[in-house]
Structures are given as structure tokens and as C-alpha cells.
Chain A
Amino acid sequence: MIPEIGHFFVIVGLAFAIVLAVAPMVGIHKNNSALIALAKPAAIGQFIFFLISFLILVYSFTVNDFSVKYVAANSNTQLPMIYKVSATWGAHEGSLLLWALILAGWTFAVALFNGKLPEDMIARILAVLGVVSIGFTLFILITSNPFERLTNVPVEGRSLNPLLQDIGLAIHPPMLYMGYVGLAVAFAFAIAVLLKGEFQMAWARWAKIWTVVAWAFLTLGIALGSWWAYYELGWGGWWFWDPVENASLLPWIIATALIHTLSISASRGTFQSWTLLLAILAFALSLLGTFLVRSGVLTSVHAFTSDPARGVFILIFLVVIVGVSLLLYSARSHLVTKSKPFKLASKETILLSNNVILVAMMATVLLGTIYPLILDALGLAKLSVGAPYFNTVMLPLTVPLALLMGFGFASRWIEDKPQRLLQKLWLPAVAALLVAFIAPLLLLPEFSGLAVLGLLMSAWIAFSALHWLVQKNPHGQIKPSMQTAGSVLAHIGFAVTLTGITITSIYSIEKDVRLEPGQKYAINQYEFEFKGVVQKEKDNYLASQGTVIVYENGAELTRLYPEKRTYLSQTMPMTEAGIDAKLSRDLFVALGEKLNGDAWAVRLQYKPFVRWIWLGSILMAVGGVLALIRRKTAAPRAEATA
């Protein structure tokens, strides 16, 4: 009975979504304020019903209700409680319900915290969110009902894919979805602006707050996914240019560009149409990501389901949403855009150039991701595009992006002088050059031009950001505004990630070796001694646990216990790596397979600076959110984050 209530509440949620989508629009059209006022209670009702429905699904998991097909397929009695809860969104149906819940949550938040936006704008935004919600709720009800029952109730469930039995992956999807779906708010804002035919500067600031929060979640979600892939897929890679990873990177890149144009729109009142286009694009890419992950068109670690009906539904939804938005955009964007003159040397130019570079990055990643899918769909060829393509293309785009970023902080709106900028920025430039050339000599084993380039870019961004922070408050009398400090932190986070990527990519050492018990293998100053493998029995899996003693310059440093696990409910084995993590390097040991005798294939890795990649992402997200905090006493500033 309880699962039926869950199912029924999804339908009630749909009813609220329909009210939400229709009433405010009709109200605005007929000038009926009672209808407009329906938007808020509809948003609240929608959220409450989706929340209860979702909690019912969680409940079905916790009480092992295997009469529910989705529970039987993704849980079993042996599963630890935390993973029973996270199994709720561990597969297709439940993760879509989470999608719908998060969308309802964002809608609810917009209804409550509508700031200084006029009532009709909020009503339009809520209505657009209602339309998106209708699409997804229909998708759930028609193709992916998580509450579907089984007539033959199994005694035991199939259990959650062991790969997903991990704390990193328990929180990765909700984070990512918060980001994906949060971009729907920026999208709804763009559509509302186009419908109204007016775009005030203060509204851009409102839209920026929502976009930055969504972007921060997206940043954390992507970083969590990368971190999980690193230790859980077992092989120490942190980014594979897998289509599903790309699918999350695409909206991130565009959301990053969007935040910056929203800054221009908020403080200069220009570039509105470009801002709106990016907002539409960002959400379109979120939908594309959902399509790629959920339709089964991909060969990927994530492509667990494949049901053509689902793919077709999302594809149609995507085409309709994007098509209608772009039509509306082409018909009405001229109404809202204002061009204000600015010189070639100005903050506007720098921000715009970096926007163009970000869009180019997105386009190249998109090309490499969907071109093979399109060829395959047309039956022309089966091909894949390797990681070297993405690396080759991203590098030359990142260099000008980083260079301009440094100039962006110090530059002035409307008109600046290159000489003034150079005079101002000589200090960070010299400091960056020193770091880039001296750090590798002192710290890194061998000289590499790319390492110098990567460090130069990172140091340049970090130093010019810090320089900006100091210059704004030359005598340290005024505390820097949170907006400046947060923005500086976010950009330093980018520099930290860039440093991590550079050093890990160039200086990692990876060895697959055959080791007998007692045998040693050395990488740099580290020596790995393999002590053999013992069998262990755990709650819901059997483990072959290896012991590897690591020596640094002859002295014992640590012991690592990599495992090969076999989960009781499934036959597939899992690799659990043994990792010794430090800020400056990871030592990574994974068991391959058992060879003849007591020998094992073992993967040994030395990964310098790999933690910086994720650390930098955290700084980016935290910095972005801090930048939104405004001190009450401070006068409103026209300054925006660069």
C-alpha cells in the first residue's frame, strides 16, 4: 500500500506542476492577480508531495520491500543501512525521482526567496520551472516508475552495484543534480526575461546568486565523481574524458561563462542577450547530459540502463525545450539587450574573450563527445575519440584563458590602458615567472616545458588575484568585501586545480608488476614490499586482502592493504585500492589478478599533487558561495567579480 501512496503522490506532484505552469501565465495574460498568486502555493505543494514520495521510496529501501521492483533490483537485506538509503538514487528510476525532487526544491526556494524581483517576473520564472517539472514527472510516470510492483515477490534483492557502495558515490549524484537542476533557475529566468521583454540590472544580480549556487554544487559534484573514479574504479585515473564525465563538464563550462556575463549585466547593464543565450545553453547541456546518461546511448561505466523509449522521451523533451527557447530568443532578445560602448582595452573585452574561449572549450568537448554517437546513430561508422584529442585541444585553450584571467582582475570597465595594466601587474607577473622556473628546479625530478607553462599559468592567476585583493585595500583599513575575497578564493581554487592537473599529468609514475610475496619494487625514493594476500570475510563481501609495506629512503613509511572484493550477492569482483594520501603526493597500490603460485599482478603508482585537483574544486565552490555574501552595512558596490 505504501509504495502506491508514493506513486500517487508523484501524480499529485504533477497536478501541482500543471497548476504552477499554467495559472501564473494565464494570470499575467488576463491581469488576474489571484491566478498569479497561485504560483507560490503550487510550488510549495509540489515540493511537499515530491518530498513525501521520495521519502516513501527511501522507506521502501530501508524496510527491504522487495515487492517493489526497483528495490528488489538495487538492494538486499545484507546491504549496510547507509547504502540502502543511497541505493534510492543508485539507479535510473530513483535518480529521476531525485531529479524531480531537487527541481521541486529549487522551485520552492525561488518561491520563498524572490528578493527584489517584481511579482510577475517571479510568477513567470515559477511557471517555466513548472513546465520543466511537468516534462520530468511525465517521464517518470510513463517510462520509469520507481514504485512499480512485482507479482512474484523475491525473498532477496539483487543488491546495489558494489561500485556504488561507497560514500563518495552516495553523495555524488545529489550534488551533481543540485547543480544540473539548479541551472534550470537561470534558464527559467532567461525565458521569463524574454517573455517580459525587459532586463533590469538588479535582476541580473538575482540570477547570478542562483547560478553561482548551482555552479558550486556542480563543481563539487564533478570533483566527487573524479575522486570516486580515482579510488574506486581502482586504477588511479582521475579524469577519463568519458562521455558521461564530459556531460557534466559541458554545463559547468557554460555556467562558469554565465556567471561572468551575469556580472557584466549586473554591473554594466550590457551583454544581456549573450547572457540569456548562455543561460539557455547551460540548461540545454544539463538536459543533454541527462539524455546521454539515462538513454543508454553511451558505452560507459555509467550506462547501466538502456531502454530506447527513455532515450526518445528525453530527446524529444530536449528538442522541444531548446527549440522553443531558441525561437523565443531569436524573436525577442533584441528587446532586452542594450549595447554600451567600451574600448578594446577594458574589463568587458577581457571577460568577453574568456567567454568566447569557454564556449570554444565547450564546443570541442561536445564535438568529441557526440560526434561518435551521431555517426553511430546514422549507421555510418563506429568510432571513439580518445583522451589525447581532448588533452591536445584543451591545452592551447587554457593558456590564453589563464593569461586573460590575470588581467581581468585589475582591469577597469569601459576603458583601460594596456600600459597601466602592465605597470600594475608587473609584480604578480614576475612572481609567477619566478615560481614557474624555480619550483620545478627545486622540487621536480626533471625539467618539462609543459610543467613550467602550467605552473606559470597557475601562479599568474593566483598572484594577480591576491594582488587585486591587496590593491583594493591598500592600507588594510577596510576589510575586503566578501564579494572580492570569495571571488579571489574561487580563482585561486582554479589555479590550485590547474597546478594539480599539470603536475599529476606530467610526473605520475605508474607500474604494473608481477610480485611474489617478499619481493620489492622501487619507484623513486619509495620501495614497495609485497607481503602476500590473505582471505577475509566481511558483512556482505569476501576480500582477498594484500599487504604492501612502503619504505621511504629505507625506513618504513606505512602499510597499505589493497583488496580484491567479491560481493556475496553478485559475482563481479571489485578492486579496492590502498592509498597513502598526502598533499604533495599519493602512493597508490591496487591488486590485479592472482598469477601462478602466490604471485599477484600489482599496480603501483606515484601520483604527485593529485589531491590539489579536488582541493582546488572545493576552494572554487566555497569561494563562489562566499562571494555572494554581502555585508549589510556596506554600500552597494558596482564592482563585480572578474
Chain B
Amino acid sequence: MSPLRKKRMYLVMLLLTAVSVATFLIIQAFNQNMMFFYSTTEVKSGAAPTDRDFRIGGLVVNGTVKRADDSLLVSFDLTDSQTPVTVQYTGILPDLFREGQGIIAKGQLNGNGVFVAEEVLAKHDENYMPPEVADSIQKAQMAQTEMPAMPANHKN
């Protein structure tokens, strides 16, 4: 092999290694930061992971929002219209958070089946329902074939 060819070969090998390492790292980062969405029914049935963050969505159940007296701790129930799950959050809730509104929370399940949220998202449109939430409500209602489907009440 001529020196020039050898040099080129090293260069190509170097490039290939760099690209493989980069791809590996990107996929690694991607996998670690992927967050799946689970409906409240799925969470209650144990389908959601317990060791990593995920997103949960549903309607805030009327009368369940409780604020602590001396801190920013708040708890409320979310439901896909069939199964409620309790969510805890410490911090400021978004402007559009209110009872009956469809919201999404990011966080982890604790040992007691309570979802501890790091972030609560409500969209900046009062009539807007996160598509994930709308979808999970529809699914939950279809699963309950014996009961007539009730229209989701997400109006203010």
C-alpha cells in the first residue's frame, strides 16, 4: 500500500469511528430522555414504569385540589374519566391549571402509587385539550362498554 493510500485509510477509519461513537452517544441520550405517556388507567393497572420518569395526563377531578398551608405543596387527582390517580407537586401551577381542565404532568410514581410531578403543563388555550388526554379519555370510555359513554366535561 502506498503511503498516501495508507494515510487515507487511517483517515477513513478515524471518521468511521467518530461517526459510530457519535451515533452511539446520540442514541444513548435519546433513550435516556424518552418519556412515554400513560393514561391514569394504565398507571393504576401497573403498566407504567416505576424506575423512570414518564408523563401522565387527564382531567383534574373537581374538589380534589388541596394546597398545603405553609408551603407550595399541592395535590390533586387526575382521571381519564374512569380511574383517578393522585398527583403531588411542589411549586407554582400553570395559569390554566384548574379543576376540570385537561393537563399533563411529568414525573415518577412513588411507592404509594402517588405520582410525584416535577412539572405540570396546561396549555395556553382555555378550550384546548392535550391530544394525549383526549385520546386516553376516549379509550377509557370505549373500554367501558357496559356503561353509556359520557361526554368529557372539560369546559370551564
Contacts and interface: CB of A to CB of B under 8 A. Distances in A.
- A is bound by B: yes
Interface of A: 161, 163, 233-234, 299, 301, 304, 344, 360, 364, 367-368, 371, 381-386, 388-389, 392-393, 396, 512-514, 564, 570-575, 590, 592-593, 595-596, 601, 603
A570 B126 contact: yes
A514 B95 CA distance: 16
B130 A593 contact: no
Contacts of B34: 383-386, 389
Given A163-B124, A234-B95, A396-B25, A596 B67 contact: yes
Nearest to B8: A344
Contacts of B126: 570-572
Interface in B116-151: 123-126, 128, 130-132, 135
B37 A382 contact: yes
Interface of B: 11, 22, 25-26, 29-30, 32-37, 53, 55, 67, 69-72, 90-93, 95-96, 104, 106, 123-126, 128, 130-132, 135, 156
A108 B90 CA distance: 55
B124 A572 contact: yes
18 contacts: A161-B124, A299-B104, A301-B123, A301-B124, A382-B36, A384-B35, A385-B30, A388-B32, A389-B34, A392-B33, A396-B22, A512-B91, A512-B92, A571-B126, A574-B95, A590-B92, A592-B92, A603-B92
A299 B33 contact: no
A564 B106 CA distance: 25
B26 A364 contact: yes
Contacts of A592: 72, 92-93
Contacts of B70: 514
A571 B35 contact: no
Given A301-B123, A364-B26, A384-B35, A513 B55 contact: no
A369 to B, nearest CB: 12
B95 A512 contact: no
A512 B72 contact: yes
A597 B34 CA distance: 41
Given A368-B30, A603-B92, 6 more contacts: A360-B22, A382-B36, A383-B34, A389-B33, A512-B72, A592-B92
Contact of B72 (A161, A383, A513): A513
B37 A389 contact: no
A234 B69 CA distance: 24
A522 B35 CA distance: 35
Q: Which 9 pairs, one residue from A and one from B, show the smallest C-beta to C-beta distance?
A: A592-B92, A389-B33, A382-B37, A392-B29, A386-B33, A512-B91, A383-B36, A572-B126, A573-B95
B96 A572 contact: yes
B156 A571 contact: yes
Contacts of A572: 95-96, 124-126
A560 to B, nearest CB: 16
Contacts of A514: 70-72
A599 to B, nearest CB: 9
B21 to A, nearest CB: 10
